Structure 1
Amino acid sequence: MKLSVLDQSVITKGQDAKAAFNETIRLAQFTEQLGYTRFWVAEHHNTNGMAGSAPQVLISHLASVTNRIRIGSGGVLLPQYSPYKIAEDFNVLQTLFPGRIDLGIGRSPGGSYDTRLALTDGLKKSMNEFPRQVKRLQGFLLGKQGVTAYPIVGAPAEPWILGITHRGARVAAENGTAFTYGHFIDPSNGKRALDDYYSQFQPSAFLKAPVSNVCIFVICAPTQEEAELLARSQDIWLLEVERGIDTRIPTKEEAENRKLSSRELEKVKENRKRAIIGTPEKVKEELSLLSEVYGTDEFMVITNIADFEDKVRSYELLAEAILGRVMD
């Protein structure tokens, strides 16, 4: 089984964006040493708690301070942009860091209606154009659209489509791209999405056979009790994000002292289906079971908890359990 990372550069209350980016950099370097396959950064807009609004910029810096791990986007919000410009951006990245760049793209609107209009400079773009934009982007990456996306690269960045439904999986399959399923967003559609992706995959200039991974929240600690305690800040963070209150992670102290209503406790229970929380042995067992259900050999791990050192230890314990890697 392979392990990768999705990092949202989330700001813990009391921190600022600079601190969040510094932690993203440290995590990329650390997980590279642990043997993780790829490290992706997300794109969010008009939100106070997720600093990564420009993944192409962050990718360039992360690739420059690492050596082997693949660096990519999880993902660029293609409906808001020009496929040509995205192709140019990632051709630059692939030229600077050949063979290490993943181009993850998603159909997400990127925020509120006003945020979308700000991203497109007032142009009302239809989300239904996504399949067409994917084809255009692939054409520009391959130099087959008449207008050339310079610089020309020997092999373009590897395209991935990110999705949480069977419809997204079918777009990936029909265009012969790799596919990431967002279990951390909605675990209910995963098996159907992956089954459709594998059964309908069409070979392309990018891939001859299907390639997938599944993104999931994971919190790993030496004991179940400690893992549950660490998960408290992520539980409350998800509640506040979903209610549009705050996208910053609450501190450990705030999480421990927060009293949850019966309705909030039910929502936390529901959200836990999006995560695996526990000891290394438990996490390994549950990931192995999900690997069989989804038919994938790679999990992309997202861990949004208050304390960075606890986060680092979670990734380290996971790598030790799955990859047999221990830091010196």
Structure 2
Amino acid sequence: MKLSVLDQAPISRHSNAKETLNNTLKLAKITEELGYTRYWVAEHHNTNGLASTSPEVLITRIASLTETIRVGSGGVLLPQYAPFKVAENFKTLEVFFPDRIDLGVGRSPGGSQTTRLALTDSVNKSLRDFPRQLADLQGFLHNTLPKEHPYRMIKAAPRLDNVPPTWVLGLSERGAKSAAELGLGFVFGHFIKPVNGQAVMEAYLSNFQPSPTLGQPETIVCIFVVCADTEEEAEELALSQDKWLLSVGKGADTKVPSIDEVKKKEFSDEELNEIKKNRERCIIGTPAKVKKELNRLSDFYQTDEFMIITNIYDFDAKEHSYRLLADAFDFER
């Protein structure tokens, strides 16, 4: 089993973006020492509670402070950008950090329609173009655009023998097939919507075509995890994530609340049902319980790698959660 990290850089209440991003750097170095495979950073816009807005900048900083862990994006919001520019950004990263960069891309709009228009400088780009953009991105990365392509003579620099592997983040069979047909890696977002996941992964595996970067299918499943020494402690720590997910779902404040704040809150029956439903996106418990559940999901999803996201209030508790997981799987240090 391989474990990796997805970091959205969630800002805890009474903290700020500077402290949060410094904690991102700390956690990247810690998880590298613990034996984690990858450290990916997200892209979110126009939100007060998530500090990860520019994956390329964060990747550069994280990779410069680490030595072995792969560093990547989870993921660049491709529909808002030009595939040519994304290819040049990540080829440049590959020059500085060879064989350590992952290019994760997603189809998400990145926020409201107005936020999206701000990202595209008022150009109304269709999300339906994602498969075409994905193919163009590969063409620019590998210099394989077809002869009839209008940009066939445009070369993405710097020119490299090896380019970062591309991973598609998705929730649907359509997204899985897009990744498979281009021979790209696929990441299933269990932490977003753990519905129909087995069929989605099967669609990827059954439609995979080898490519210049991947000779066989590669998959990752991303999932919320809160791990602690005791079940009771894990449940208490998860309260802040429970409330945070509830707020995110309502489009409300996206800062992570403290446990004390959550305990003072009286939830309606509707909110309690939503919290219970959100727990299907998570594993909460002791190292033994989390390991057992990840092993079960490994068989269910036919994958050997999980990307762990832990959005709780206390950074020390978050760090400890990642340490306990590494110990449970007995990673080589």
TM-score (norm: length of structure 2): 0.97
Aligned to 1:196: 203
Aligned to 2:256: 249
Distance of 1:23 and 1:323 partners within structure 2: 24
Count how many residue pairs are aligned between Structure 1 and Structure 2. 326
Distance of 1:146 and 1:225 partners within structure 2: 61
Q: Which of residues 155, 167, 191 in structure 2 aligns to 1:160?
A: 167
Distance of 1:63 and 1:116 partners within structure 2: 28
Query: Is the CA contact 2:220–2:306 (under 8 Å) kept in the aligned structure 1?
Result: yes
How big is each residue's C-alpha offset from its partner over 1:172-224, in whole Å with a ceiling of 9 and x where there is no partner?
Answer: 00110000000000111210110010011011111110000100000000111
Distance of 2:215 and 2:331 partners within structure 1: 30
Distance of 1:314 and 1:285 partners within structure 2: 15
Aligned to 1:93: 93
Query: Is the CA contact 1:87–1:140 (under 8 Å) kept in the aligned structure 2?
Result: yes
Deviation at 1:325, TM superposition (A): 5.5
Aligned to 1:108: 108
Deviation at 1:111, TM superposition (A): 0.3
Query: Is the CA contact 1:2–1:323 (under 8 Å) kept in the aligned structure 2?
Result: no
SS where residue 196 of structure 2 aligns? helix
Deviation at 1:252, TM superposition (A): 2.4
Deviation at 1:324, TM superposition (A): 4.1
Aligned to 2:311: 304
Name the % identity: 56
Aligned to 2:70: 70
SS where residue 92 of structure 1 aligns? helix
| Larger deviation, residues 258-267 vs 174-183 | 258-267
The alignment yields a C-alpha RMSD, in angstroms, of 0.9
Deviation at 1:141, TM superposition (A): 0.4
Query: Is the CA contact 2:91–2:160 (under 8 Å) kept in the aligned structure 1?
Result: yes
Distance of 2:331 and 2:214 partners within structure 1: 29
1:261-276 superposed matches below 5 A: 261-276=268-283
- Check if 1:225 corresponds to 2:228: no
Aligned to 2:149: none
- Check if 1:137 corresponds to 2:137: yes
| Larger deviation, residues 258-267 vs 175-184 | 258-267
SS where residue 312 of structure 2 aligns? coil
How big is each residue's C-alpha offset from its partner over 1:214-263, in whole Å with a ceiling of 9 and x where there is no partner?
Answer: 00000000111100000000000001111111111002221222221111
Structure 1 residue ranges without an equivalent (≥5): none
Query: Is the CA contact 2:225–2:309 (under 8 Å) kept in the aligned structure 1?
Result: yes
SS where residue 195 of structure 2 aligns? helix
Query: Is the CA contact 1:233–1:252 (under 8 Å) kept in the aligned structure 2?
Result: yes
Aligned to 1:6: 6
TM-score (norm: length of structure 1): 0.98
Query: Is the CA contact 1:2–1:297 (under 8 Å) kept in the aligned structure 2?
Result: yes
SS where residue 323 of structure 2 aligns? helix
Query: Is the CA contact 2:42–2:73 (under 8 Å) kept in the aligned structure 1?
Result: yes
SS where residue 161 of structure 1 aligns? strand
Aligned to 1:240: 247
